Structure 1
Amino acid sequence: MKRFFQIIVMIVAASGFVRGEQLSDTISIQEVTVSSFRKQIARDRLPQKVEVITREQIERAGTSDISDILKKEGGLDVIQYPGMLSGVGIRGFRPATSGLNQRVLVLIDGRPSASTNLAMIDLTGVERVEIIKGPASAIYGPQAVGGVVNIITRKSSGKLQGKGTVGYGSFQQTEASAQVGGTISGPVDFDFSLNRYQRNKNYKIGKNNLFRDALGFDEISSYFSKGDSTMVETDDRGDGDVRPNTKYTRYGSRGRIGVQLSSDWRLDFSVDGVFADDVEDPGDIKDGSNKPGLKDVSRLSSDISLTGKLAPTNTLTLRVFYGFQLAKNMTTYEGVPSALIHPYKSYNETTAWKGVQVTDMVTMGSNTFFFGLENNQSNFDSRRFKKDGSRVAPYKPNYSFITTGVFAQGNINLVADKLFILGGVRFDNIQYKVFETELMTYKERSENNQFFSPSLGLRYQVLPGLNLKGTVGYGFSPADIYSVAGYNEVFSKKPKHVTIYAGNAELKNMESLTRELGVTYGDKAGLWSAELSYFWTTYKNNSIEKFIPATSLELTASGDTIDARVNYQNAPSNTIQGLESSGSFDFGKLAGWNSSLQLWASYSHLFTANEVADEYGIGQTTRKMLNVAMDNLRTGISFDDSKNLYASLSFRYVGDRFDRNWNYWDRYVETTYANYMVADFVTGYRFLKHHELSLSVNNLTDENYYEKRGYNMPGRSFWIRYSFKF
């Protein structure tokens, strides 16, 4: 607690000297609408905790990486690696960078983003990012356990408008982007954006560490449960080092064309993609530069939507979508100790998505009801290769998920619009298919299971600006496909002896139940606002291996001796409890200025975040949730004169995070990461109506920090950008 107050004192002292950017819309609650609940709803009417990151915040953030945006502007947990790989977590659920059973659902305009890797989503052409905190499976189905990140793209009409931006930064970073949109002719409108980013020089890890040294954030601890001992180490690896193999070039593009077919019907087609070849990965810092990575990655997603009125109070939306994500990995080293070799293609994987969404909206006065059907299919395919190009068995067999959901949702206003009710139910059928895969012993199998997801949220206006709110809702993520439908005969060292891994068709989906209570206040003048929420989540059914040794002679169909069987069972329940708060005050409005001078803060704390999981080499273990911060504080001061000058100074503090120490693979050793704090500064000047020049400094105090230990982030970096709007 003493350390926490030290942080507050340092932030307040530093903030007193700076004016900053217009207040983050993740703090202010006035005049912000949200579309993630199938209809535009004012955010100050919603019972759910929703944060909105605006286009202005994205453009001024000094980064083109959506992971940076989500952690800086949304306060979310991330796992982030230097080589274009990242994942996000919400409300205590661990971030993930791969797989089709993640705990946070990432969408683009309400449909699947066609990516398991957050770094593969480009921000150019994005209008805003909406973050639903808490389960949303009643709306969106699988994976919406911790919450939803819904990326809303630009939809322009009317006079053509656009913007071009060029930038240059530290480590020989360059960026060029262009976007344009509006009406082409008559009923046809469009949007198009293009972005190119390059880091042409290896980045340097932070060295000066003002906050780390002042606040004592220079140690990690490893707890050995066997023997009940703790080992403490100084955590200064890489201070000031240039990190080899951190260069890459990325291209992103997004396009949309729409046709107003009649006064009641509209057709839209959109597509977006990201492409990057020869993406370097430095590997874990403990290996120096001896185990680098190299890969080519690409992603493409598209959809066609038709929206129209069946009757004055009845609107139908039909959407079909398709997308894929490709990764080709090269091997760059071999041997023990490792030696660098000429890279060769050793692995490639493809994940593809396709589906259809049908939604019928019925309006009754100020109330709206939705009924719909959604079908999604995801397919995974991978291959491995030797140096000579011949194939070897992949790491896992090919598989597919097919989910079909039916849902109903109601947005109801009562008591002279003082009471808003948002409720919904959804039923999903999940089909698991594991395919017989070349060079593997997996057998083709198919299984099904179901899940019912209800939710209810209430928000009541006690006084003008003062609201009480409460929600209860279920979330679920599909069980691991191999745990449900897998079958594999793994040969042991003894000839003709095998261990059989067999899925459990009765395995249940991972599910959560979250209860939330909160209070919000925001005055109409926008002078100040505050919000406080408490949430309590119980969840269960992680997949746990169960090892059963053979007690009598048993043979496979091919005559091999079965030494043991491994099947899967559901883990018992556990809890996540936390508190979220935010507030802002505009001194500019208080003084009667035309300018805005705002102080803002957002803080979240987890009282507990544990899970029962299956640990390699150990089995069933109760542990603290990995890669999740127990404390997350964001604060800053911001200024905007609404004409020319804007500036902001912001701070981000991340508290205790936990991970497994793999130096001790045969036992569970829990490592507590060092806390860290970073500061970012941005200022800009708008002139001659169409022009803007900006300077941003990321990691102002040059801290050595990481989101995943061993993969340290860049130190202090500068960006200068010039933009032209028309």
Structure 2
Amino acid sequence: MKGILLAAAIVLWATAAKAQKQDSVKNYQLEQVIVNASRSQSKLGDIPRKIDVLTKNDLQASPADNVGDLLKKTVAVDIIEYPGIKASIGMRGFAPSTDNKYNVLLINGIPAGTENFGTLDIGNLQQVEVMKGPYSSLYGTNAMGGVINLVTPKSSGKLAGSVRGGFGSFNTSQLSGHIGGNLTNKLSFDLNLSGLDQNSDYQTGKNSLLHRSAIEKEILDPSTFDKKYPNTSYKKYNEGLRLGYRFSDKVEANYYQRLFAGRDVMTNGTIYGVYGNSKKDITRWSHGLNVAVNENRHKLSVSPYFSREVNDYYNIAGTSDFVETENVYKEFGVMATDKWLLGKHNLVYGIDWNNKQYESKRWADVSERTAPYQPNYRNGALGVFAEGNLNFLQDKLQISAGIRYDNINFHLFATPEMQIDALSENHHVVNPHLAAQYRINSNWRVFTGYGTGFHSPDAFQKAGSYSYSSSYGKYNYKGNPNLKPEKSRSFDGGFAYANRDNGLSGNLTYFDTHHQDMIDYDRSNPDYTTFKNTSKAHMNGLEAGFAYDFGASSDYAWSLRLFANATYLLHAKSEDNGVKSKLKYVRKANANFGIEYRDFKHWQTRLSGRYIGHRYEDNWLYTYDYATYEVIPYTTADGTAVRPSLINDSVLKHPQFLVFDWTGSYTFAENYTIGVTVSNLLDEIYTEKDGYPMPGRSVGGTFTWRF
């Protein structure tokens, strides 16, 4: 694979026809950005909702190498992240989950085909759109916390591109290339190739910038400080292709194809080895087609898509080395949207057909199949929606109102090695929204909105029964046909200020969300485990953003920008059978801040910080002596007890952290750039998930040639 990437980079180099000058961003105005994820493709300033847009400059100035890492460093979101290319995010008090059940993830407006943010590369992105709040009225299931849309380039004109190579800590090397432009007057393309190999295990941090209590020090466990985290090396490769054909001034088609390959991705589990000492391979192929027709007052878009992601988990204990578990995730369907222009108003309506199919295989040894951990199933949805966007009072007042109906269907498939019958179930869901915005003047605007969201249960949670065996024993499960979707209702409101002339911008949003019918395990029956709508939660809080550019005084001949944004939960509690408790796996606060300098010719540098607030997690690093049922601490391989004084605490309050990053680059001869990144600049010891300390300080260098 590395040889293929090298050969492709040489081809990109050889086909360079003419140097392309670096784009100037001095006159960039964020309010004029088109937000593709809104489905109405409106300007950012015309949408009465809270939306963060990351520009190309934000992407280039970040040391992140995947979308999960990017979002946690820029837009104040929660994240659950593990070594071994695995990450998911949460917004507005919705806890991150490994199946990403509270967000919708798109690439160019089409489902991304993965639930894992860690597998998404940022090297070939043009823009990232983060829409916070309920969007089930536009996208159906899962859009409770928000929608993330990744936008890739659509190059035109003469062929141009770049080649980049680099090296860094933990014996990391990377190589990438991009080329795009017109092949004929009507045919254009973009091709991106990249590879990154982290060939050594990473070292954890050793410092604590914030005060630690005795309990917090024990939770973090000093024995994990400044320690090599075993089995954390990996290799990953990306390929992306866009082919665009312009049939006429009114009709255009773009075909998108992407490949992600993670190879020899080591998974130690926790730093203590719990749930670990294995490896996995990840392979995902994605295909999508968008046909856009712009005919007088109608803008029609039709997008069929298909993706297939395979996760192979190896058992490498002892001398054998075989695939123990294979999980296949398929996503396919069609999205169709029409934007009908009605003077200053518009009506957006459409129909979506989406399917998510899960298949599992499991082996006891190299040749013997055994029952997988769950049956094969498909969650399908047919949804129709409409949204009116109205403008009044000379475009000062903007109102958006919409509604969506979804017919959710479940299919449970007969699964080899598992006693289960094929079954089907379905239900119906309706979700409305209403939002309004008023422009006080050219700088100030106020906005408010209300909407609902839902998360549909999986097919095996609602229908059928199944069982499997493992080293821990035999497990029996039974679906609950009366299981309801998780639902939410949310209100938000706030104001925003933006004045390019004085370089100042800011916003403040208050949100209030009620989350109901949360799905959990029901173990009340001694013969089997089922599922139930067991609890509810209430979250409210504030989102704030601020930026000031000193370069406004020089008409942006240069830029020196201070920036900050934060999410703070004022209230976050759950309730189960009348018993209230603090919401777990959700941070009280998340914040990003920093300072950036650009001279638009040679120099660019950014120092950024991330504040990670307190969170509550179940204290899972203890167990029972099943002879006496006495609570005992988990012990490492050498017999050392982990957190022995905390074994009677069922829930732990995890500490807060402060992590800094620095990036800098110098461009010379217009087309050559030397870059340096330092992630975790001050070598903070921190975790995104209990028992999984993240990398300490790492340094990297890159060289980029643009042609």
- For normalisation by structure 2, the TM-score amounts to 0.88
Hey, what's the Cα distance between the residues in 2 that align with 1:518 and 1:589? 26
Match of 2:481 in 1: 505
SS in structure 2 opposite 1:97?
coil
Confirm whether residue 406 of structure 1 aligns to residue 384 of structure 2: yes
Contact 2:410-2:458 at 8 Å conserved across structures = no
Match of 2:230 in 1: 244
SS in structure 1 opposite 2:552?
helix
Partner deviation per Cα, 1:112-151 (whole Å, 9 max, x = no partner): 1110211222223211110011011111111111001111
Q: How does 1:424-573 map to 2 (within 5 A)?
A: 424-488=402-466, 501-525=477-501, 527-546=503-522, 564=527, 567-573=530-536
SS in structure 2 opposite 1:36?
helix
Confirm whether residue 306 of structure 1 aligns to residue 291 of structure 2: yes
Confirm whether residue 105 of structure 1 aligns to residue 104 of structure 2: yes
Point out the more displaced range, 236-245 or 421-430.
236-245
Q: 1:586 aligns with which of 527, 549, 569?
A: 549
Q: How does 1:7-156 map to 2 (within 5 A)?
A: 29-98=30-99, 102-156=101-155
Hey, what's the Cα distance between the residues in 2 that align with 1:380 and 1:150? 23
Point out the more displaced range, 51-60 or 621-630.
621-630
Residue 85 of structure 1: CA displacement? 1.0
Hey, what's the Cα distance between the residues in 2 that align with 1:296 and 1:427? 38
Q: 2:326 aligns with which of 348, 351, 361?
A: 348
Contact 1:432-1:448 at 8 Å conserved across structures = yes
Letter of the 2:184 partner, please give it.
S
Confirm whether residue 423 of structure 1 aligns to residue 385 of structure 2: no
Letter of the 2:210 partner, please give it.
L
Number of aligned positions between the proteins: 657
Letter of the 2:680 partner, please give it.
N
Contact 2:205-2:684 at 8 Å conserved across structures = yes
Q: 2:315 aligns with which of 307, 311, 331?
A: 331
SS in structure 1 opposite 2:460?
helix
Hey, what's the Cα distance between the residues in 2 that align with 1:234 and 1:722? 37
Letter of the 1:191 partner, please give it.
D
Match of 2:564 in 1: 601
Match of 1:710 in 2: 691
Structure 1 residues 499 and 382: alpha-carbon distance in aligned structure 2, compared to 1, 3 A threshold: closer
Q: Which protein has greater RCO, CA pairs closer than 8 Å, 6+ apart?
A: 1
Partner deviation per Cα, 1:377-407 (whole Å, 9 max, x = no partner): 1111101102242101111111001100001
Residue 506 of structure 1: CA displacement? 2.9
Contact 1:124-1:254 at 8 Å conserved across structures = no
Structure 1, unmatched stretches of 5+, are 1-21, 222-230, 334-339, 492-497, 550-562, 614-618
Partner deviation per Cα, 1:677-712 (whole Å, 9 max, x = no partner): 011111111111111111111111011111112111
Contact 2:83-2:232 at 8 Å conserved across structures = yes
Residue 259 of structure 1: CA displacement? 0.8
Hey, what's the Cα distance between the residues in 2 that align with 1:541 and 1:266? 44
Structure 1 residues 565 and 719: alpha-carbon distance in aligned structure 2, compared to 1, 3 A threshold: closer
Match of 1:8 in 2: none
Match of 1:11 in 2: none
Point out the more displaced range, 153-162 or 141-150.
153-162
Hey, what's the Cα distance between the residues in 2 that align with 1:62 and 1:104? 24
Structure 1 residues 686 and 546: alpha-carbon distance in aligned structure 2, compared to 1, 3 A threshold: closer
Letter of the 1:257 partner, please give it.
L
SS in structure 1 opposite 2:440?
strand
Match of 1:627 in 2: 585
Contact 2:560-2:598 at 8 Å conserved across structures = yes
Structure 1 residues 620 and 447: alpha-carbon distance in aligned structure 2, compared to 1, 3 A threshold: farther
Confirm whether residue 670 of structure 1 aligns to residue 655 of structure 2: no
Hey, what's the Cα distance between the residues in 1 that align with 2:360 and 2:527? 28
> Percent same amino acid at aligned positions?
30
Letter of the 2:314 partner, please give it.
M
Hey, what's the Cα distance between the residues in 2 that align with 1:199 and 1:572? 42
Match of 1:9 in 2: none
Hey, what's the Cα distance between the residues in 1 that align with 2:468 and 2:238? 42
Contact 2:373-2:468 at 8 Å conserved across structures = no
SS in structure 1 opposite 2:137?
helix
Match of 1:225 in 2: none
Hey, what's the Cα distance between the residues in 2 that align with 1:51 and 1:302? 27
SS in structure 2 opposite 1:139?
helix
Structure 1 residues 123 and 476: alpha-carbon distance in aligned structure 2, compared to 1, 3 A threshold: same
Tell me the C-alpha RMSD between the 2 structures: 2.6
Contact 2:418-2:467 at 8 Å conserved across structures = no
Match of 2:639 in 1: none
Hey, what's the Cα distance between the residues in 2 that align with 1:135 and 1:294? 36
Residue 593 of structure 1: CA displacement? 6.1
Contact 2:500-2:552 at 8 Å conserved across structures = no
Match of 1:682 in 2: 663
Point out the more displaced range, 250-259 or 279-288.
279-288
Hey, what's the Cα distance between the residues in 1 that align with 2:515 and 2:439? 31
Structure 1 residues 449 and 612: alpha-carbon distance in aligned structure 2, compared to 1, 3 A threshold: farther
Contact 2:346-2:389 at 8 Å conserved across structures = yes
Hey, what's the Cα distance between the residues in 2 that align with 1:48 and 1:526? 24
Residue 621 of structure 1: CA displacement? 7.2
Confirm whether residue 256 of structure 1 aligns to residue 242 of structure 2: yes
Confirm whether residue 638 of structure 1 aligns to residue 596 of structure 2: yes
Match of 2:674 in 1: 693
Match of 1:318 in 2: 302
Match of 2:20 in 1: none
Structure 2, unmatched stretches of 5+, are 1-22, 625-647
Hey, what's the Cα distance between the residues in 2 that align with 1:530 and 1:411? 25
Contact 1:479-1:510 at 8 Å conserved across structures = yes
Hey, what's the Cα distance between the residues in 2 that align with 1:28 and 1:74? 19
Confirm whether residue 722 of structure 1 aligns to residue 700 of structure 2: no
Q: 2:211 aligns with which of 186, 197, 216?
A: 216
Contact 1:308-1:316 at 8 Å conserved across structures = yes
Partner deviation per Cα, 1:596-643 (whole Å, 9 max, x = no partner): 111111121111223357xxxxx9975433332111121111111111
SS in structure 1 opposite 2:293?
strand
SS in structure 1 opposite 2:37?
coil
Hey, what's the Cα distance between the residues in 2 that align with 1:630 and 1:52? 23
Hey, what's the Cα distance between the residues in 2 that align with 1:171 and 1:29? 37
Contact 2:374-2:466 at 8 Å conserved across structures = no
Hey, what's the Cα distance between the residues in 1 that align with 2:314 and 2:701? 34
Residue 589 of structure 1: CA displacement? 1.8
Structure 1 residues 710 and 28: alpha-carbon distance in aligned structure 2, compared to 1, 3 A threshold: farther
Letter of the 1:216 partner, please give it.
H
Hey, what's the Cα distance between the residues in 1 that align with 2:421 and 2:455? 24
Contact 2:61-2:606 at 8 Å conserved across structures = no
Q: 1:361 aligns with which of 339, 345, 353?
A: 339
Contact 2:379-2:409 at 8 Å conserved across structures = yes
Match of 2:267 in 1: 281
SS in structure 2 opposite 1:417?
coil
Match of 1:159 in 2: 158
Hey, what's the Cα distance between the residues in 1 that align with 2:227 and 2:476? 47
Confirm whether residue 201 of structure 1 aligns to residue 179 of structure 2: no
Point out the more displaced range, 322-331 or 311-320.
311-320
